[in-house]
Structure 1
């Protein structure tokens, strides 16, 4: 799938959830900043980056799990949004009993890996960090394949809908993800996943 579909919407979040639950498995929908968006199906390099990050998180924080791609989050502070991050780091078992969309309470970090499409700049670099900060998620990690860098957003200011601290590191550098995550990533391997 190579097309990103979006339209401005005035629908209720409950209406969006009904549409999203009826979508075929090959389509992933999000509702961010008043728009319905179809999230692009990831390529193999994208999947390898998420898998690499899952392994690092497990090695350093076995009490946590990086839920990859399937966990929907309610980011209601930002226009009653619904997002499906590429990764959601939370205590193991945090989402037991939840439906398709979970409250972000207890989520320590969200992860996005850029896709090679026209909406990456707006979606991953602008709207998603604003939504995750507004939801009070402590860390937003962006693996930016276009810029060949990892960007760590911390210290959310929910009322301002932004993260106060943003640190960028080129692929190949070591990146410290501060508490409550508390791990260091050697990003050398990410050079292999850039085209």
Structure 2
């Protein structure tokens, strides 16, 4: 049997091949095309690719946007329910909250990534498949990025809850207020708004 080898000039060297492979989660994130029906983000150095939420998940984010709409109009802010990657100051990792509230002039990296020094508030709606990320890991990332307020709407808890986290310092929110869905909860400055959480009851199946 005759063995045929590719001429050395046509074979990629190990150095050349490795040079073109993404070496970090951030580089891999940047190399991926947009994936319809999936969300991509980096949490604790891990590239996470997950399905987008259910219609109820998206409706809950929309309801939050509706509740804050008068405040958004009064102060000239912007509210985004999904499809926005927040770039965390420091590690520069992109994380996709379910909801973002930001000034109109919030600085960005490119078209999709507001810098975490800009948003006033983010929110997560806990999914059964990402409970630990939504309840613990992502809020810690937001605190590290200095986002003043994080709201966690949790239909997985029994009973369903809404938690408001504020006063970020060194990757931890120092103040936490948790109520059952149906109970008003105050969102502190820079928002300064009392949220009627009963609006979430039907979308979360608690009414």
- The question of a shared fold, defined as TM-score above 0.5 by the shorter chain, is answered with yes
Q: Which runs of 5+ in 2 are unaligned?
A: 1-21
1:50 maps to 2:54: no
Deviation readout 1:105-128 (Å, 9 max, x if unpaired): 2210011111122x22x2011110
* Greater share of residues in strand: 1
Report the TM-score, using the length of structure 1 for normalisation: 0.84
Structure 1: distance between partners of 2:109 and 2:46:
28
Q: Relative contact order, CA 8 A, sep 6+: which one is greater? A: 1
CA distance in 2, matches of 1:96, 1:80: 12
| C-alpha distance after superposition, 1:13-48 (max 9, x if no partner) | 2332222xx132222111110111123311121111
Instruction: Determine the C-alpha separation between the residues in 1 that align with 2:140 and 2:108.
Output: 27
More deviation, 181-190/89-98: 89-98
Query: Higher mean Cα deviation, 79-88 or 145-154?
Result: 79-88
Q: Is 2:125 the partner of 1:125?
A: no
Is contact 1:75-1:104 (8 Å) kept?
yes
**1:132-186: CA deviation from partner (whole Å, max 9, x where unpaired):** 00000000000011120100000000x2x11000110110101110110111111
* Contact in 1 for aligned 2:87/2:109 (Cα 8 Å): no
Q: Distance in 2 between matches of 1:64 and 1:162?
A: 26
Contact 1:49–1:193 under 8 Å retained in 2: yes
8 A contact 1:40–1:115 mirrored in 2: no
Displacement, 1:10?
6.2
CA separation of 1:155/1:135 partners in 2, compared to 1, >3 Å: closer, same or farther? Answer: same
Q: 1:73 & 1:96 partners in 2: Cα distance?
A: 9
Distance 2:128 2:180 in 1: 18
**Higher radius of gyration, 1 or 2:** 2
Which residue of the partner structure matches residue 152 of structure 1? 164
Q: Which of structure 1's runs of 4+ aligned residues deviate more than 6 A?
A: none
- Runs (5+) with no aligned partner, structure 1: 1-8
Residue 52 of structure 2 corresponds to residue 24 of structure 1: no
Match of 2:8?
A: none
Query: Is it true that 1:90 corresponds to 2:102 in the alignment?
Result: yes
The correspondence for 2:116, drawn from 104, 113, 129, is: 104
Between the two proteins, the alignment pairs up a number of residues equal to 180
